[in-house]
Amino acid sequence: MKVLQDPLTGEDFIPKRNNQRFASRKNQIRFNNNLALERKEYKCEILRRLETNWNALGIILGNNSIIERSEEFLRGAGLHFGYVTHSIMRDGHRWNCVFNYAYLKTNKDCIKIIRL
pLDDT 10s digits, 15-48? 999 999 999 999 999 999 999 999 999 899 899 9
In a domain, residue 16? The reply is: no
- Decide if 8 is inside a domain: no
Q: Does 13 fall in a domain? A: no
Q: Is residue 10 part of a domain?
A: no
Whether 3 is in a domain gets the answer no
Which pLDDT does position 53 carry in this prediction?
96
Determine the pLDDT at residue 111.
94
First vs last C-alpha separation in the chain: 63
Q: Is residue 17 part of a domain?
A: no
Q: Has residue 2 been placed in a domain?
A: no
Least trusted range by pLDDT, from 14-18, 55-59, 87-91, 108-112:
108-112
Torsional class of 10: left (φ above 0), alpha (ψ -120 to 50), beta (otherwise): left
Domain total of the chain: 1
- d(C-alpha 7, C-alpha 19), whole Å: 14
Facing residues of 102 across strands?
97, 114
pTM greater than the 0.75 cutoff: no
Domain of residue 49, residue span: 22-115
Q: Look at residue 14 and tell me if it is in a domain.
A: no
pLDDT computed for residue 85 by the predictor: 96
